[in-house]
Amino acid sequence: MTGYFRSVDIGNLHLEGNVFAAPMSGYTDRVTRGLALFEGAVLAYTEMISAEALIRNSGRTLSMMNRADGEAFLAVQLFGSSPETLGRAAVLATQSGADLLDLNAGCPVSKVTGKGAGAALGREVERLALAVEEMGKAGLPVTVKIRSGWDEGKINWSEAGHAVVEAGAAAIGFHPRTRRQGYGGRADWTALKKMSLELPVPIIGSGDLDSPLSVLRMFEETGCRAVMIARGAIGNPGIYSQTRKLLTTGILETPPTPEEHLRVARFHLNAAAEEFGDEITAREIKKHLVGYIKGWPSAAELRRELMMASDIPTLMTLLNEES
């Protein structure tokens, strides 16, 4: 069991471990990545960043690439449809300090796929490969995050995987659900196992990692080289330290108590307010805070109160009252 926490090389980057924080739009901002890294994630992807917006030089977009505290390697995820635009955005991200570039070829949201990006790029394998080539010209390791296909009738992970490796991808993040599945049903870990056997680059497994044990199980069952935790880390950054402990020592710690969760939630709230200001934080932080209280007996009432609160002091009072 202790063999699963291992270093991994992605292109020229040597990472001292293989448990990563997955990109999550609207979630993996600078503060959340900092928390994940503090707790033991080895790499934390930015949320997906529009290549077009980056080229337009939008200030908000640029700030999404600010390095988090403790972020040894900044992994920037880009989305777009035009290989040329993605190539130009890759250069800008590199100039902004990125150490690794990831291409989103899996986002299922219609607003994104409707423009040929995300999962729509994933099904157009030639364009996808061209995009990897263009991004590679920036000189950083390029990774690609793909799904298993568009729907059950159009499973193309193998073709897409081979094509991006041929185009120079240094690793592949694989979320083995189809676009049609969205985030429902189960991820197909057998496809992840097959990909790990088929391709010569590190495969980073994603899908249904909701506990340290599930991460161990993914390593055992699929042989993937690394994992990225997504929803399982929302309001639960301690999952990284517990997972590392399990993978390195075999010890499964008892899950954090509600008081411990609240302590981290208050820290998260303060750090976000400092980073983004009170107004934005009051609006954006609630999805994180309800994650911290998920599953408690008293969660329904507190969740309602948190969702109704409109300023930081009220949110803080609610988090204090519960402890």
In whole angstroms, the minimum distance from the beta carbon of 321 to ligand FMN comes to: 28
At closest approach, how far in Å is the CB of 320 from ligand FMN? 27
Q: With respect to ligand FMN, which residue has the nearer C-beta, 263 or 303?
A: 303
Torsion of CA 26, 28, 30, 36, to 10 degrees: 150
Least distance from C-beta 108 to ligand FMN, angstroms?
Answer: 9
How far apart CA 97 and CA 181 sit, in angstroms, is 35
Of 155 and 316, the one with the shorter C-beta distance to ligand FMN is 155
**How many residues does the structure list for the chain?**
323
For residue 176, give both structure tokens.
Answer: 């083995």
Question: What strands lie across the sheet with 142-149, from one edge to the other?
Answer: 43-44, 19-21, 226-229, 203-205, 171-178, 142-149, 100-105, 75-79, 49-50
For ligand FMN, the binding residues (CB under 6 A) are 22-27, 47-48, 77, 104, 106-107, 145, 175, 183, 187, 206-209, 230-232
Q: Which of 24, 51, 107, 309 is catalytic?
A: 107
Based on CB atoms, which residue is closest to ligand FMN, 47 or 52? 47
d(CA 233, CA 231): 5
Cβ 302 to ligand FMN, closest distance in Å? 21
Q: Which is nearer to ligand FMN, 99 or 188 (CB)?
A: 188
Which residue has tokens 């690794």?
100
Please state, in angstroms and as integers, the Cα–Cα distance from residue 294 to each residue in 147, 172, 282, 298, 302, following that order: 27, 31, 19, 9, 10
Judging by beta carbons within 10 Å of its beta carbon (0-12, 13-18, 19+), is residue 310 exposed, middle or buried? exposed
Find residue 49's DSSP bridge partners.
78
Q: What sections of the chain are H helices per DSSP? A: 30-39, 51-55, 59-63, 83-95, 110-113, 119-122, 125-136, 157-166, 189-198, 212-222, 238-249, 258-276, 278-284, 286-292, 299-308, 312-321
Q: Is 107 one of the annotated active-site residues of the chain?
A: yes
State in angstroms the smallest separation of the CB of 83 from ligand FMN.
18
DSSP 3: T
Task: Between 78 and 201, name the residue whose CB sits nearer to ligand FMN.
Answer: 78
Nearer to ligand FMN, 79 or 318 (CB): 79
3 state DSSP class of 112: helix
Q: Are strands 43-44 and 49-50 parallel, antiparallel or unpaired?
A: unpaired
Question: What is the closest distance, in whole angstroms, from the C-beta atom of residue 184 to ligand FMN in the complex?
Answer: 10
In which residue are the tokens 């240094």 written? Answer: 170
Active site residues: 107
